[in-house]
C-alpha cells in the first residue's frame, strides 16, 4: 500500500490541481466500495450443510457468475456512460444490499415457503441461481469509469503507468475486504461440523445461529459505508464530476 500510494503521488504531479483532486476522490470511493466485507465461508457452509447444495451445483453457480460478469459489463455500458462514479457507487451499493435479501431470507426459511406455494419450483436452488444472475454483473462495473477517466485525461506517455498503479490501488481493496471479513466473522461466529477422520469424533460442532445476524450486518455495511464515504467526498474538494 505504501509503495502504491507513493507511486500515485508521483503520477498525480503530472495532472492539474482540479484533475488531481478528482481522481483521488474517485480512487478513494472505489477503494471503499470494494473493501466492504463479505459473509465469508459460513454462508457456503450453510448452503452445503443445510440447503444441500452439492459441488456440481456450486460449480454451476460459479460458471453463471463468470459468464454474466462479462455480459453485464457490455449491457451496463449506458449506466457507466451517463452517470458519475459517485452515482454509480451509490446505485451499486443499494443494489448490493438488496441482493443480500435472498440469502438472508433463505437462512430464515423463505425458500420453504416459496417452494410450498409454487409446487417446489421456486426452491433454494432456484433462488440461488436467480440471485447469482442478478449479482454477478455488478462486481467490476465500478472500475470502468476510473479506467475510462485515465484513458481520457492521463498524459499520453504515462497512460499505461496510470492504469497499472491506480488499478493496483483499487485491487488492494480486495485484501482490505478479506481482512474486514475476518474481523466481522470474529464478531458473529459461524462454525461447521468437523469430524476427525481417524477417530470419527466430532471435534467442532455446527453452529449457524449467528449467520443471520452476520448476513444482515454485511448487508448494512455494504449499503451504508460506501454511500457515506461518497457523501463526504462529494462535499469536499475531492468531488467527482457529475
Q: What CATH code is carried by the domain that includes residue 100?
A: 1.20.1250
The candidate with the shortest Cα–Cα distance to 137, out of 212, 66, 81, is 66
* Beta strands 194-195 and 202-204, pairing class: antiparallel
Mean pLDDT of 81-103: 86
Note whether residue 239 is domain-resident. Answer: no
Q: How many domains does the chain have?
A: 1
pLDDT above 80: residue 151:
no
Helix axes 124-135, 110-117, angle to 10 degrees: 110
What is the C-alpha to C-alpha distance for residues 228 and 236, in angstroms, rounded to an integer?
A: 13
The answer to whether position 153 is within a domain reads yes
Q: Helix 85-98 and helix 211-234: axis angle, to 10°?
A: 170
3-state secondary structure of 195: strand
Q: Residue 224: is its pLDDT beyond 90?
A: yes
Asked if the structure places residue 240 within a domain, the reply is no
Give 214's pLDDT tier (boundaries 50, 70, 90): very high
Q: Residue 234 above 70 pLDDT?
A: yes
Please give the pLDDT value at position 139. 62
Task: With respect to residue 220, please indicate whether it lies within any of the assigned structural domains.
Answer: yes
Grid coordinates given for 202? 466430532
Nearest in space to 27 (alpha carbons), one of 42, 56, 5, 43: 5
How many CA atoms within 13 Å lie on the side-chain side of 128? 20
CA-nearest of 118, 219, 190, 62 to 53 is 62
13 phi, psi to nearest 5 deg? -65, -15
200, part of any domain: no
Please report whether residue 199 resides in a domain: no
Evaluate whether residue 28 is within a structural domain: yes
* Over residues 149-162, mean pLDDT: 82
Query: Can you give the pLDDT at residue 197?
Result: 74
Contacts of residue 88, defined as CB under 8 A and 6 or more positions apart, other chains included, come to: 79, 80, 141, 142, 145
* Sequence-ordered list of residues with C-beta below 8 angstroms from that of 238, at least 6 positions apart, any chain: 21, 22, 24, 25, 28
Nearest CA to 38 out of 182, 181, 159, 183 is that of 181
* pLDDT(133) > 90: no
Cell representation of residue 178: 478479506
In a domain, 198, yes or no: no
Measured CA to CA, the distance from residue 168 to residue 103 in angstroms comes to 31
| Domain that includes residue 230, residue range | 2-188+207-234
Q: pLDDT band at 195, cuts 50/70/90?
A: confident
Number of C-alpha atoms within 13 angstroms, CB side, residue 118? 13
Instruction: Give the chain's radius of gyration (CA, Å).
Output: 21
Q: Which whole number is the average pLDDT over 102-111? A: 94
Determine contact, residues 172/31, Cβ cutoff 8 Å. yes
* pLDDT digit string, tens, across residues 16-72: 888 888 888 888 888 999 899 999 999 999 999 999 999 899 899 888 888 887 777
Confidence of residue 158 (pLDDT cuts 50, 70, 90): confident
Residue 169, helix vs strand vs coil: helix
- Measured CA to CA, the distance from residue 172 to residue 166 in angstroms comes to 10
More confident residue, 205 or 134: 205
Amino acid at each position: 500500500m505504501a509503495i502504491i500510494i507513493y507511486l500515485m503521488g508521483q503520477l498525480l504531479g503530472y495532472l492539474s490541481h482540479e484533475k488531481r483532486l478528482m481522481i483521488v476522490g474517485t480512487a478513494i470511493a472505489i477503494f471503499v466500495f470494494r473493501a466492504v466485507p463479505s459473509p465469508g465461508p459460513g454462508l457456503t457452509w450453510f448452503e452445503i450443510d443445510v440447503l444441500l447444495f452439492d459441488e456440481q451445483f456450486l460449480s454451476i453457480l460459479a460458471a453463471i457468475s463468470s459468464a454474466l460478469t462479462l455480459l453485464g459489463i457490455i449491457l451496463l455500458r449506458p449506466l457507466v456512460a451517463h452517470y458519475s462514479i459517485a452515482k454509480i457507487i451509490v446505485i451499486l451499493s443499494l443494489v448490493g444490499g438488496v441482493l443480500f435479501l435472498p440469502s438472508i431470507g433463505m437462512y430464515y426459511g423463505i425458500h420453504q415457503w416459496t417452494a410450498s406455494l409454487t409446487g417446489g419450483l421456486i426452491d433454494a436452488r432456484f433462488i440461488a441461481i436467480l440471485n447469482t444472475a442478478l449479482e454477478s454483473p455488478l462486481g467490476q462495473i465500478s472500475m470502468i469509469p476510473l479506467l475510462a477517466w485515465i484513458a481520457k485525461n492521463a498524459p499520453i506517455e504515462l497512460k499505461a503507468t496510470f492504469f497499472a498503479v491506480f488499478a493496483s490501488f483499487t485491487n488492494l481493496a480486495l485484501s482490505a475486504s478479506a481482512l474486514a471479513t475476518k474481523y466481522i466473522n470474529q464478531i458473529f461466529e459461524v462454525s461447521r461440523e468437523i469430524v476427525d477422520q481417524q477417530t470419527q469424533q466430532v471435534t467442532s460442532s455446527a453452529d449457524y445461529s449467528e449467520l443471520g445476524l452476520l448476513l444482515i450486518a454485511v448487508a448494512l455495511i455494504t449499503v451504508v459505508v460506501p454511500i457515506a464515504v461518497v457523501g463526504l467526498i462529494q462535499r469536499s474538494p475531492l468531488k467527482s464530476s457529475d
